[in-house]
Amino acid sequence: VQPVQPVQPVQRSHSGPSFHEMWRDLAPIGRDADSGGYRRYAWTGADADCRDWFRAQAETRGLTYEQDRNGNQWAWLGDPAAGDAVVTGSHLDSVPDGGAFDGPLGVVSSFAALDELRARGTRPTRPLAIVNFGDEEGARFGLACVGSRLTAGQLTLDKAHALRDADGVSLPQAMERAGYDPETIGADPERLARIGAFVELHVEQGRALAHTDHAVGVASAIWPHGRWRFDFHGEANHAGTTRIEDRRDPMLTYANTVLAARKKARTAGALATFGKVSVEPNGVNAIASLVRGWLDSRAADEETLAAVVEEIERAAAERGARDGVDVRVTRESFTPVVEFAHDLRDELAKLLGDVPVLPTGAGHDAGILSGVIPTAMLFVRNPTGVSHSPAETAAEDDCLAGVTALADVLEGLACR
């Protein structure tokens, strides 16, 4: 796999490093030399390097920098206390072996858009801020959008404290080891009250724009989605001596559940994915005692999603009964459907002219915030639709068109 294509230099007067320079400096952080993919997990060394990069971008532009009580980073142009702020940004963390664009494109574009506003000589009448939300992908602790959920009061402290990574390190422990005080985490309504609008620019994660003349689109909605952990308990035994009829093999139940999930989702027009699995004791010559698989399921509406997951659970239980395998299902997270604010969406459509409006099946911090403040999203065309993969890409011209669109939006919102 080719590493991501760096975008070429953009000649434009700016008050900070150019889009190209920012992209180049961020590119090596947490990148796997073999796959070209990224492993930027919350509160790890790669995450710290991304955070240092964000802080440097803020400071080199003379923006007011702060890290909030939940570890999200902010860079302010204007008075953070003034209220009715226009905020843009995204996240810098990644999924396992993720692409370069999911998250960072929104953050880099935000700094570049701010530079463009300054180059245009615009005079914002509202404070502007750029945000980097912590732990958006949930790659380490299993729950997505931890930074924005905490801020919006959508994640209780009990649940946050109970989050653990694969090594048993809790979220507070990880934060503490990264030099951050976990005692401060929690809802931050005072901060949200100072924000009048949030706009997240993101690489598109499908091909809705690929076959259009449009480099940029506006989001209409986010599909409801969730994560469910399936535990299949069987019986460990010798692979060479245990007769087939004597086995209680959880791998078999798991495999059939994966097939059932695909079938049920396809029938319902929904999505169901088992992308992560762990096996105990994980020996080649032993029947497994436990298989643990994580289901990610999404659909256009909540009723369909609930029905699909219920059917998958039923299929797993029925198969488990046949196999002598005990199946337990735990819902680890659920994010309801998001309809982005129509007023703001219409305003964006007016500012950007005739652009496509599209829903997405991918989760975002913007989805979490939309429950609390007027929120919108811009999508930048993805020529292949590939995301959550090292092969994720976007054309240089499209990225720069995204920057201009974001600058237009910020100018339109903040200079009236």
Binding stretches for Mn ion (CB under 5 A): 102-103, 363
**By the rule CB under 6 A, 187 interacts with ligand GLV:** no
Distance between CA 102 and CA 111 in Å, rounded?
16
Give min distance, CB of 263 to ligand GLV, in A: 22
Shortest approach of ligand GLV to residue 223 CB, angstroms? 9
Do the strands 195-203 and 375-380 form a parallel or antiparallel pair, or are they unpaired?
A: parallel
CA distance 318 to 379: 42
Task: Tell me the two tokens of residue 164.
Answer: 């653990």
Which listed residue (201, 358, 362, 403) binds ligand GLV by CB under 6 A?
362
| 225 φ, ψ (degrees, to nearest 5) | -155, 160
In whole angstroms, the minimum distance from the beta carbon of 273 to ligand GLV comes to 10
Binding mask 142-171 for ligand GLV (x = CB under 6 A): --x---------------------------
Q: Shortest approach of ligand GLV to residue 286 CB, angstroms?
A: 33
Torsion on CA atoms 300, 304, 309, 314, rounded to nearest 10: -160
CB nearer to ligand GLV: pick between 92 and 327: 92
Indicate whether 137 belongs to the interface with ligand GLV (CB under 6 A). Answer: yes
Q: Which does 103 bind (CB under 5 to 8 A by kind): Mn ion, ligand GLV, none?
A: Mn ion
DSSP 3-state helix, strand, coil percentages of the chain (rounded to 5)? 35, 25, 40
Q: Are 67 and 182 in contact (CB under 8 A)?
A: no
Q: Which among Mn ion, ligand GLV, none contacts residue 187 (Cβ within 5 to 8 A by kind)?
A: none
Residue carrying structure tokens 């027009």:
269
Say how far apart CA 394 and CA 292 lie, in whole Å. Answer: 35
Q: How far is the CB of 116 from ligand GLV (least distance, A)?
A: 27
Please pick, from the candidates 37, 224, 363, 390, the single residue that binds ligand GLV as defined by CB under 6 A: 363
CB neighbour list of residue 389: distance below 8 Å, 6 or more residues apart = 37, 97, 98, 99
Cα–Cα distance measured from residue 387 to residue 282, given in angstroms and rounded to the nearest whole number: 30
Minimum CB distance to Mn ion smaller for 100 or for 215: 100
Residue 249 contact partner, candidates Mn ion, ligand GLV, none, CB within 5 to 8 A by sort of partner: none
In the complex, the residues that contact ligand GLV under the rule CB under 6 A are 137, 144, 362-363
